[in-house]
Amino acid sequence: MTNRIELTNGFFSVSSLERSNPSVSDYISPGIQRSDMGIGFINGIDNSMEFAMSHTDYIHTLAQGYSVELFYSQTNGMLADLQEAAFGNVSSSKELDQLKDAWRLFDEANRGNPGAKYLQICHSQGGAYVKKALEESSQEIRDRVIVVNIAVAVIIPNALCYQSYNYASENDYINLVEIARNYDPDLTMGLKQWAKMMKHRNEIIWIKGSFGPWWVPDLLYHLYSMHHEFQDPIFKDIIADHIAEYLNNNGNYAPKW
């Protein structure tokens, strides 16, 4: 069964389902598949399966015919999802197991090719699952993964994988939650506390935001237009450029060190 991709209300949607092996991923877009290359996606909060699939097919339209697999982060309702995001928790082992299994299988398929890398794209709270899965993986597998983290909710340190890219709009306040999460009650407010709270903030790549009419305060306008949606136009070229670079390299990269 193949998918018919349609544009609905500005978002790509799918009119039929094609599932891959559910033990590894929840859905895979039709297209070119190679054992030495892989592109995966995990969604953020409050996404239905269909909406997460629409993001996956959106990536597919930027991937020059290559297949993209989805690791679906199931919604538990907006309130529960927001609570999970606020504390940076990962409430389900299913997503962690899927990510780790996909990367492990990719590593096993490329034992004789250390340069082969897996391109993992994540959105918002999906980054928390990617970060946790990387932390629970061996160094060999971490070195297989390139991360493109869109609309950061959790920063994925570059040292945790082969390469990570953390993107956020200057309008977006969601990433500020991580500063509060890093607060250590055992430390007094001073340089050590501040350093801990601001850890890895220098790894965010800031995308120029937008401004409303002169009479609308920036704070209010930014709440209205944070540019946090995955398919927001400000991220399109970024995602496309990372995929193009990956494909131009045939998914193969020189050693990091």
Give the pLDDT of residue 34.
Answer: 94
C-alpha distance across the termini of the chain, in Å: 43
Contact 57, 5 (CB under 8 A): yes
Give the pLDDT of residue 204.
Answer: 92
Most confident of 42-51, 143-152, 184-193, 194-203: 143-152
- Domains of the chain with CATH codes: 5-175+203-248 (3.40.50)
Give the pLDDT of residue 199.
Answer: 80
Instruction: Write down the pTM of the prediction.
Output: 0.84
- Please check the confidence at residue 62 and state whether its pLDDT lies above 70: yes
pLDDT confidence band for 19 (50 / 70 / 90): very low
Give the pLDDT of residue 181.
Answer: 73
Q: Which of 111, 166, 163, 114 is nearest to 134 (CA)?
A: 163
Structure-model confidence comparison of residues 173 and 169, the more confident one? 169
Q: What is the pLDDT of residues 223-239, one digit of tens each?
A: 556 788 899 999 999 99
- Please check the confidence at residue 105 and state whether its pLDDT lies above 90: yes
